[in-house]
């Protein structure tokens, strides 16, 4: 780890960054069920509608 010298006391060294958390920590990720996912057509249909509404305001 890099260190930086303190200007008030030359014998004191301060770490530049804190150590990263333990790598043993694991998070359980659950997948979204297929029936709850949006299709490409639905997604791009909503996006197209929002873009058209935005440009209508301009």
**pLDDT for residue 52:** 97
**pLDDT for residue 30:** 86
Q: Is 27 helix (H, G, I), strand (E, B) or coil?
A: coil
- Predicted confidence pLDDT, tens digits, the chain (58 residues): 455 555 566 566 666 666 666 666 677 888 888 888 999 999 999 999 999 999 999 8
Angle at 41 between CA 39 and CA 44, to 5 degrees: 110
**pLDDT for residue 18:** 63
Q: How far is CA 39 from CA 48, 51, 52, in A?
A: 14, 19, 20
**pLDDT for residue 28:** 83
**pLDDT for residue 38:** 92
Distance of CA 48 to the CA centre of its chain: 26
């Amino acid at each position: 780890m890099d260190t930086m010298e303190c200007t008030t006391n030359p014998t004191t060294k301060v770490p530049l960054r804190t150590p990263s958390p333990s790598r043993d920590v694991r998070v359980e990720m659950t997948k979204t069920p297929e029936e709850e996912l949006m299709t490409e057509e639905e997604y791009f249909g909503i996006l197209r509608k929002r873009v058209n509404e935005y440009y209508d305001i301009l």
